[in-house]
Amino acid sequence: MKALSVALLLALLASVHRIPLTDYCFFSRSRLCVLWELQRRFLLFTGESDLLSVPPDPQVQGRETERSFENQKEKNVSKQEALNESQLLTMQDTFSSQGEDLARRKKNEERGHQLYKMSNKILKHSKSKKDKEEAYQLLTKAADMGHLKAMEKLAAALLFGYHGPQNITAAVTLYETLAEKGSHRGQTALGFMFSYGIGMEYNQAKALVYYTFGSLGGNLISQMILGYRYWVGINVPRNCEAALTNYRKVAFFIADKLEKNEEMPVEKVRLMEKSENLSSNNDFLDWDVHQFYKFLAERGDTQIQKAFYYFLKAAKAGNTHGMAFLGKMFLEGSVAVTQSNASAFKYFTMAAEKLYRSVCELGSWSEKFLTAYFAYQDGNIDSSLIQYALLAEMGYEVAQSNSAYILESEQVKILSNDQMYPLALLLWNRAAAQGNAFARVKTGDYHFYGYGTKRDYVTAAIHYSLAVDHHIAQAMFNLAYMYEHGLGIPKDIHLANRWYDLAAQTSPDASIPVFLAHMKLEVKILFSEIQLFKQTTIPAGKKSHATSWKTVCIIAYLTSYKHTFIWRHPSVQKTPFQRFIGL
């Protein structure tokens, strides 16, 4: 309403004085006063006197505007100062809180370190069970305080069952935390558990990733595992250079320790019972014979052909000296071989790999052979298995055989039943690839019966044939059985007889089962002859009582031995011979 009144007033003035509305902005002070008076009267006339106000003075208004601006500026400055002061106080509180947290963390670390040292001291100098329990309580407290080494040691104790019950779930949780913190021990342990499916899924790809990170972090066990994997080609392409690189890192470290007498070799006990003819010692060249042919090879004697044969045999069995001298032969050339740098490099590389690996296997981790064996003796089967399994992962053939043997015992609780035989077959196969002839027979048995894999007589026959090259009587007997029945190979009674005879000649233990097998073959041949005789000479309706009596005697004689003689065999499963006699 006020705006309308002013508009009417201006319009009235414009009409009276004939002045454009735009010119009123240039009125003098006196004219403005007159204008204001007219406006006042007009508003009184219209009844809107409450809208009256003192006419604005431009100078006063300017000063008031300036003062208002200054006041607002002062208010803004005050607000900013208050804000700055508040932020400063907040920052001081934050710094104070962070400082307190840092001091508290440092205090915890110091306390955790002291507890860790106390725990180690007790474990090192005390043998009583009570003291060791107290030591692990201290270790647990140190781990709760975030002490990295205490967490690593506690996780290992939970995983391997050192001085207490195993707790795989708690070990996995700890190792996952350690891996996130960048612990190479945690990464290596997770790789191991993924590799066997212990406490988590069986996943070789993840195992390889964790081993790689552990190796990059400087973990010697991861480096040794990768060296073995690249050497054999386990889930990675075979790569001699990568194997050498990893083995070399570990070998230099171990060699330095050995020079300082800080490491001592550990005896590696085989768990399975086996007869002398199954010993893996036959895989290697006798030292005296080796030295003799080394002398001949260096002289260039005419018997160099025989030397080459024995060096090749030794190299195939894993003997580093044989590999080295084959490399020398190929490098220099001789009557036996044509000069070849490529072949020389191949055998020199194989020898280098084997020698580096031999040094690596002297590391402190080999002490697990003792703790694993003692755990097995005490009935701690799961603890023993995990320790042997880690050593097996590092490439120890004895540990591979022992792990497979424990899995066969069906006493393991930390793995499901459907994991047992596939893992056992995997480990037997790896041990066989390293020259263990007994493991080769076991691999054949698994394929023969279909344990951990599909039944495959052809593959079984191949493994038995490879074991026969190592003069294993059991493999000869099994191969004879397969020839007798035509399993995976053509049926051939004469070859079966020959292999049975060779088995008896190779091992005295095989004499009784071979005798029974021969008796069975004789019965088969006799029945065949009877049928042929009946068809050709005996009139219908008549029988040869003498022949029938001879048959009855042979069968009775065979039956009398059926439940008396068993060829000793460490396998949990039946062998072909045991199957033959109906056990």
Residue type at position 446: Y
Q: Above 90 in pLDDT, residue 343?
A: no
- Structure confidence at residue 15 as a pLDDT band (50, 70, 90): low
- Structure confidence at residue 284 as a pLDDT band (50, 70, 90): very low
When mean pLDDT is compared over 59-63, 277-281, 451-455, 516-520, the highest value belongs to 451-455
What per-residue confidence (pLDDT) applies to 564?
Answer: 38
- Structure confidence at residue 123 as a pLDDT band (50, 70, 90): confident
What does residue 264 show for φ and ψ, rounded to 5 degrees?
A: -125, 140
Tokens matching residue 354: 């084997």
Taking the CA atoms of 407, 408, 409 and 411 in sequence, report the sign of the dihedral they define.
positive
DSSP class of 539: P
Name the average pLDDT for the chain: 74
What is the percentage of the chain residues whose pLDDT exceeds 90? Answer: 33
Q: Tell me: the pLDDT tens digits for 496-507? A: 989 998 999 888
213-to-187, 194, 240, 241, 286 alpha-carbon distances in Å? 7, 14, 20, 19, 42
The contacts of residue 520 (CB under 8 Å, 6+ apart) are 558, 580
Q: Give the mean pLDDT of 391-397.
A: 94
Select from 25, 18, 420 the least CA-distant residue to 197.
420
pTM of the full predicted structure? Answer: 0.66
- Structure confidence at residue 36 as a pLDDT band (50, 70, 90): low
What per-residue confidence (pLDDT) applies to 285?
Answer: 40
What per-residue confidence (pLDDT) applies to 342?
Answer: 66
Q: Above 80 in pLDDT, residue 186?
A: yes
Buried b (16+ CB within 10 A) or exposed e, 363-387: bebbebbebbbebbeeebbbbbbbb
Question: What is the rounded distance in angstroms from the CA atom of residue 494 to the CA atom of residue 524?
Answer: 12
Q: Above 70 in pLDDT, residue 48?
A: no
Q: CA-based Rg of the chain, rounded to a whole angstrom?
A: 46
Answer yes or no: are the C-beta atoms of 305 and 335 closer than 8 Å: yes
User: Dihedral (C-alpha) 446, 448, 451, 456: value to the nearest 10 degrees?
Assistant: 110
Q: Tell me: the pLDDT tens digits for 84-119? A: 766 766 766 666 666 666 777 777 778 888 888 888
Question: What is the rounded distance in angstroms from the CA atom of residue 126 to the CA atom of residue 149?
Answer: 20
Answer yes or no: are the C-beta atoms of 301 and 429 closer than 8 Å: no
Q: Give the mean pLDDT of 144-171.
A: 90
Answer yes or no: are the C-beta atoms of 437 and 467 closer than 8 Å: yes
Which residue reads 């603890």 in tokens?
Answer: 383
What per-residue confidence (pLDDT) applies to 30?
Answer: 56
Residue 359 or 369, more confident: 369
Question: What is the rounded distance in angstroms from the CA atom of residue 478 to the CA atom of residue 464?
Answer: 7
Q: Above 80 in pLDDT, residue 318?
A: no
Q: Tell me: the pLDDT tens digits for 208-233? A: 999 999 999 999 999 999 999 999 99
Buried b (16+ CB within 10 A) or exposed e, 392-415: bbbbbbbbbbbbbbbbbeeebebb
What is the percentage of the chain residues whose pLDDT exceeds 70? Answer: 58
Tokens matching residue 556: 């009775």
- Structure confidence at residue 329 as a pLDDT band (50, 70, 90): confident
- Structure confidence at residue 68 as a pLDDT band (50, 70, 90): low
What per-residue confidence (pLDDT) applies to 302?
Answer: 46
Q: Give the mean pLDDT of 173-200.
A: 95
Answer yes or no: are the C-beta atoms of 521 and 497 closer than 8 Å: yes
Residue 474 or 367, more confident: 474
* DSSP code string of 66-135: HHHHHHHHHHHHHHHHHHHHHHHHHHHHHHHHHHHHHHHHHHHHHHHHHHHHHHHHHHHH---HHHHHHH
- Per mean pLDDT, which range of 29-33, 70-74, 245-249, 573-577 is the poorest? 573-577
- Structure confidence at residue 562 as a pLDDT band (50, 70, 90): very low
Buried b (16+ CB within 10 A) or exposed e, 88-118: eeeeeeeeeeeeeeeeeeeeeeeebeebbeb
Task: Give me the count of residues in the chain.
Answer: 583
Question: What is the rounded distance in angstroms from the CA atom of residue 328 to the CA atom of residue 311?
Answer: 11
